[in-house]
Amino acid sequence: MSDPVASIRIPLLSLGTIMVLLGAILLLFLAAMVYLVITSPQDVAIVHFVLEHVRAGDTAIYGHVIDAATGRKMDFEMNWAESVRTISFLFLGVAIMGVLASILKILISSGIGLIKLATGTEEKKS
C-alpha cells in the first residue's frame, strides 16, 4: 500500500516550517514589546494612548443607590487611584500577553506536527 502523505509531503513540510518560523518571529516580537513596555512604556503607542486617556482621578465606576429605609437616592462614584490604575493595566497586560503567547505556542506546535507528519517521524509512546 502506498503512503497517503507522499503526494503532499513537500507542501506539508513547507507549511510546517513557515508556521514554526512565523511563530518564533512573533514570539520574539512579543518579547520585544514586553521589554519596551517595562523599560519605556511611553514609547509603545497603545500604552501611550491608554495612559493619555485614563488619568488618575478619573471616574472608574459611578451610579446611584436607593436607600431602602428612606427611599432617598444616593449617588456614588469610585475614582482611579494611581496605584489601582497601574495594577489594573499591569494585570490586563499580563493576561493579554499570556493569551498571545498561548496562541503562538499552538501555532508552533501545529507546525512541528506538520513537519513530523511530512517527514514520517512519530513519537514513541510507552
Q: What is the pLDDT of residues 57-102, one digit of tens each?
A: 666 776 777 877 888 888 877 776 777 777 777 787 778 888 988 9
Collect all residues with Cβ–Cβ distance below 8 Å to 111 and sequence separation of at least 6: 15, 16, 17, 18, 19, 20, 21, 22, 23
**Which of 54, 55, 57, 60 has its CA nearest to residue 77?**
60
Among all chains, which residue has been given the C-alpha cell 456614588?
A: 76
In the chain, domain spans: 6-119
pTM over 0.85: no
**The CA-based dihedral angle spanning residues 31, 36, 42, 47, taken in that order and rounded to the nearest 10 degrees:** 10
The 10 Å Cβ neighbour count of residue 48 is 12
Q: What is the pLDDT of residues 85-94, one digit of tens each?
A: 777 777 877 7
